[in-house]
Amino acid sequence: DAGVTQSPTHLIKTRGQQVTLRCSPKSGHDTVSWYQQALGQGPQFIFQYYEEEERQRGNFPDRFSGHQFPNYSSELNVNALLLGDSALYLCASSSLGGWDRGRISTEAFFGQGTRLTVV
Amino acid sequence: DQQVKQNSPSLSVQEGRISILNCDYTNSMFDYFLWYKKYPAEGPTFLISISSIKDKNEDGRFTVFLNKSAKHLSLHIVPSQPGDSAVYFCAAGTYKYIFGTGTRLKVLA
Protein backbone atom coordinates (compact mmCIF):
# COMPACT_ATOMS: atom_id res chain seq x y z
CA ASP A 1 0.00 0.00 0.00
CA ALA A 2 1.61 3.21 -1.18
CA GLY A 3 1.65 5.97 1.36
CA VAL A 4 1.36 9.62 0.45
CA THR A 5 3.39 10.42 -2.64
CA GLN A 6 4.49 13.86 -3.76
CA SER A 7 6.14 15.01 -6.94
CA PRO A 8 8.57 16.37 -7.79
CA THR A 9 10.95 15.93 -4.87
CA HIS A 10 13.04 18.98 -5.73
CA LEU A 11 12.35 22.00 -7.89
CA ILE A 12 14.20 25.20 -8.74
CA LYS A 13 12.22 28.11 -10.13
CA THR A 14 12.90 31.76 -10.92
CA ARG A 15 11.12 34.66 -9.27
CA GLY A 16 7.85 35.48 -11.01
CA GLN A 17 7.36 31.99 -12.39
CA GLN A 18 4.53 29.63 -11.56
CA VAL A 19 4.84 26.16 -10.04
CA THR A 20 2.56 23.14 -9.64
CA LEU A 21 3.17 20.52 -6.98
CA ARG A 22 1.34 17.20 -6.89
CA CYS A 23 0.15 14.85 -4.18
CA SER A 24 -1.47 11.43 -4.17
CA PRO A 25 -3.04 10.58 -0.83
CA LYS A 26 -2.79 7.32 1.02
CA SER A 27 -5.20 4.67 -0.18
CA GLY A 28 -8.56 5.08 1.52
CA HIS A 29 -8.02 8.74 2.39
CA ASP A 30 -10.24 11.43 0.94
CA THR A 31 -8.79 14.64 2.37
CA VAL A 32 -5.60 16.41 1.43
CA SER A 33 -3.99 19.23 3.36
CA TRP A 34 -1.04 21.26 2.22
CA TYR A 35 1.61 22.74 4.50
CA GLN A 36 4.59 24.99 3.94
CA GLN A 37 7.64 24.41 6.11
CA ALA A 38 10.33 27.06 6.06
CA LEU A 39 13.78 26.25 7.37
CA GLY A 40 13.79 25.92 11.15
CA GLN A 41 10.01 26.24 11.43
CA GLY A 42 7.10 23.89 11.93
CA PRO A 43 4.72 23.23 9.05
CA GLN A 44 2.24 26.06 8.37
CA PHE A 45 -1.21 25.15 7.14
CA ILE A 46 -1.98 26.41 3.61
CA PHE A 47 -5.36 24.81 2.82
CA GLN A 48 -7.34 21.61 2.86
CA TYR A 49 -9.36 19.87 0.16
CA TYR A 50 -12.23 17.50 0.63
CA GLU A 51 -14.75 16.41 -2.03
CA GLU A 52 -12.87 18.48 -4.60
CA GLU A 53 -13.48 21.72 -2.73
CA GLU A 54 -11.25 23.93 -0.66
CA ARG A 55 -12.69 23.55 2.83
CA GLN A 56 -10.31 25.48 5.03
CA ARG A 57 -7.55 27.95 4.35
CA GLY A 58 -4.65 29.27 6.34
CA ASN A 59 -3.07 32.70 6.18
CA PHE A 60 -1.65 32.50 2.67
CA PRO A 61 -2.21 34.91 -0.23
CA ASP A 62 -4.32 34.12 -3.28
CA ARG A 63 -1.14 33.32 -5.21
CA PHE A 64 -1.49 29.94 -3.52
CA SER A 65 -4.28 27.91 -5.05
CA GLY A 66 -5.13 24.28 -5.32
CA HIS A 67 -7.27 21.60 -6.79
CA GLN A 68 -8.50 18.16 -5.85
CA PHE A 69 -9.40 15.56 -8.46
CA PRO A 70 -12.10 12.86 -8.33
CA ASN A 71 -9.43 10.29 -7.41
CA TYR A 72 -8.60 12.47 -4.34
CA SER A 73 -5.17 13.49 -5.63
CA SER A 74 -4.37 17.15 -5.32
CA GLU A 75 -2.29 19.94 -6.80
CA LEU A 76 -0.85 23.03 -5.18
CA ASN A 77 -0.21 25.96 -7.51
CA VAL A 78 1.84 29.00 -6.63
CA ASN A 79 1.87 31.98 -8.98
CA ALA A 80 4.29 34.91 -9.20
CA LEU A 81 6.89 33.14 -7.09
CA LEU A 82 8.82 35.13 -4.51
CA LEU A 83 12.16 34.29 -2.94
CA GLY A 84 10.28 33.81 0.35
CA ASP A 85 8.28 30.97 -1.16
CA SER A 86 11.38 28.78 -0.97
CA ALA A 87 10.43 26.03 1.47
CA LEU A 88 9.53 22.39 1.86
CA TYR A 89 5.93 21.82 0.81
CA LEU A 90 4.22 18.95 2.56
CA CYS A 91 1.06 17.18 1.63
CA ALA A 92 -0.87 15.35 4.35
CA SER A 93 -3.68 12.93 3.69
CA SER A 94 -6.38 11.94 6.12
CA SER A 95 -9.91 10.66 6.19
CA LEU A 96 -12.34 13.23 7.43
CA GLY A 97 -15.50 11.41 6.48
CA GLY A 98 -17.84 14.28 7.18
CA TRP A 99 -15.82 17.19 8.45
CA ASP A 100 -18.91 19.35 8.57
CA ARG A 101 -20.41 17.01 11.14
CA GLY A 102 -17.46 17.59 13.39
CA ARG A 103 -15.66 14.35 12.65
CA ILE A 104 -12.00 14.75 12.16
CA SER A 105 -9.11 12.48 11.60
CA THR A 106 -6.72 12.10 14.46
CA GLU A 107 -3.94 11.19 12.11
CA ALA A 108 -2.55 12.81 9.06
CA PHE A 109 -0.01 10.95 6.98
CA PHE A 110 2.59 13.09 5.33
CA GLY A 111 4.46 12.72 2.08
CA GLN A 112 8.20 13.30 1.83
CA GLY A 113 7.62 16.81 0.60
CA THR A 114 8.73 18.89 -2.36
CA ARG A 115 11.72 21.13 -1.78
CA LEU A 116 11.08 24.34 -3.75
CA THR A 117 13.92 26.78 -4.26
CA VAL A 118 13.15 30.16 -5.80
CA VAL A 119 16.16 32.02 -7.21
CA ASP B 1 0.93 34.96 17.63
CA GLN B 2 2.08 31.38 18.03
CA GLN B 3 -0.75 29.17 19.27
CA VAL B 4 1.45 26.11 19.74
CA LYS B 5 4.88 26.52 21.30
CA GLN B 6 7.79 24.21 21.85
CA ASN B 7 10.13 26.30 23.94
CA SER B 8 13.11 23.94 23.87
CA PRO B 9 14.74 23.92 20.45
CA SER B 10 16.98 21.01 21.41
CA LEU B 11 17.40 18.28 23.98
CA SER B 12 20.17 15.74 24.61
CA VAL B 13 19.54 12.57 26.58
CA GLN B 14 21.63 9.50 27.37
CA GLU B 15 20.54 6.22 25.83
CA GLY B 16 18.25 4.31 28.18
CA ARG B 17 17.09 7.40 30.05
CA ILE B 18 13.77 9.20 29.73
CA SER B 19 13.26 11.93 27.12
CA ILE B 20 10.59 14.51 27.94
CA LEU B 21 9.48 16.87 25.20
CA ASN B 22 7.13 19.70 26.09
CA CYS B 23 4.53 21.68 24.22
CA ASP B 24 2.26 24.57 25.27
CA TYR B 25 -0.83 25.83 23.49
CA THR B 26 -3.12 28.80 23.89
CA ASN B 27 -6.41 27.80 22.28
CA SER B 28 -8.71 25.91 24.64
CA MET B 29 -10.87 24.86 21.65
CA PHE B 30 -8.29 22.40 20.36
CA ASP B 31 -9.72 18.87 20.34
CA TYR B 32 -6.81 16.71 19.36
CA PHE B 33 -3.10 16.79 19.93
CA LEU B 34 -0.51 14.97 17.91
CA TRP B 35 3.20 14.30 18.03
CA TYR B 36 5.22 13.83 14.89
CA LYS B 37 8.81 12.79 14.39
CA LYS B 38 10.85 14.05 11.49
CA TYR B 39 14.12 12.73 10.12
CA PRO B 40 16.17 14.85 7.69
CA ALA B 41 14.93 14.70 4.08
CA GLU B 42 11.68 12.99 5.07
CA GLY B 43 8.19 14.21 5.78
CA PRO B 44 6.91 14.14 9.38
CA THR B 45 5.82 10.72 10.63
CA PHE B 46 2.85 10.40 12.94
CA LEU B 47 3.86 9.14 16.38
CA ILE B 48 1.01 9.34 18.86
CA SER B 49 -2.13 11.35 19.50
CA ILE B 50 -4.41 12.25 22.37
CA SER B 51 -7.96 13.50 22.50
CA SER B 52 -8.93 16.39 24.75
CA ILE B 53 -11.16 14.06 26.75
CA LYS B 54 -8.15 12.07 27.95
CA ASP B 55 -5.10 13.00 29.99
CA LYS B 56 -2.78 10.17 28.99
CA ASN B 57 -2.18 7.89 26.04
CA GLU B 58 0.47 5.18 25.81
CA ASP B 59 1.94 3.37 22.85
CA GLY B 60 4.96 1.23 23.61
CA ARG B 61 7.83 3.42 24.68
CA PHE B 62 5.86 6.60 23.95
CA THR B 63 3.42 8.25 26.34
CA VAL B 64 1.67 11.55 25.80
CA PHE B 65 0.29 13.51 28.76
CA LEU B 66 -2.26 16.29 28.44
CA ASN B 67 -2.87 18.90 31.14
CA LYS B 68 -5.84 20.91 29.87
CA SER B 69 -5.92 23.36 32.73
CA ALA B 70 -2.29 24.28 32.08
CA LYS B 71 -2.71 23.95 28.30
CA HIS B 72 0.37 21.77 28.32
CA LEU B 73 1.26 18.60 26.50
CA SER B 74 4.30 16.40 26.93
CA LEU B 75 5.78 13.37 25.21
CA HIS B 76 7.76 10.86 27.27
CA ILE B 77 10.05 8.36 25.58
CA VAL B 78 11.25 5.55 27.83
CA PRO B 79 13.81 4.16 27.36
CA SER B 80 15.36 6.53 24.82
CA GLN B 81 17.26 4.93 21.95
CA PRO B 82 19.77 6.42 19.48
CA GLY B 83 17.24 5.83 16.67
CA ASP B 84 14.90 8.25 18.42
CA SER B 85 17.21 11.12 17.45
CA ALA B 86 15.07 13.36 15.27
CA VAL B 87 13.05 16.58 15.36
CA TYR B 88 9.77 16.21 17.22
CA PHE B 89 6.79 18.40 16.43
CA CYS B 90 3.66 18.73 18.50
CA ALA B 91 0.48 19.74 16.69
CA ALA B 92 -2.90 20.78 17.99
CA GLY B 93 -6.20 21.47 16.33
CA THR B 94 -9.58 20.38 15.18
CA TYR B 95 -10.02 20.14 11.40
CA LYS B 96 -6.52 21.44 10.81
CA TYR B 97 -3.44 21.19 12.87
CA ILE B 98 -1.16 23.96 14.04
CA PHE B 99 2.39 22.85 14.59
CA GLY B 100 5.02 23.95 17.04
CA THR B 101 8.50 24.81 15.77
CA GLY B 102 9.95 21.49 16.85
CA THR B 103 12.47 20.15 19.35
CA ARG B 104 15.59 18.41 18.13
CA LEU B 105 16.20 15.35 20.27
CA LYS B 106 19.64 13.79 20.35
CA VAL B 107 19.99 10.47 22.13
CA LEU B 108 23.60 9.80 23.04
CA ALA B 109 24.90 6.25 22.93
Q: pLDDT tens across A33-75, in order?
A: 898 988 878 788 898 898 898 887 888 999 999 999 999 999 9
The residue-averaged pLDDT of A15-23 equals: 98
Residue A107: which pLDDT band, with cuts at 50, 70 and 90? low
Which residues of B fall below an 8 Å CB-CB distance to A? 4, 6, 31-32, 34, 36, 41-46, 49, 51, 89, 91, 94-102
Q: pLDDT tens across B16-39, in order?
A: 999 999 999 999 988 888 898 888
Q: What is the pLDDT of residue A98?
A: 39
State residue A41 phi and psi, 5-degree precision: -120, 165
Q: Is A42's CB within 8 Å of B4's CB?
A: yes
Cα gap B104→B10, rounded to integer Å = 4
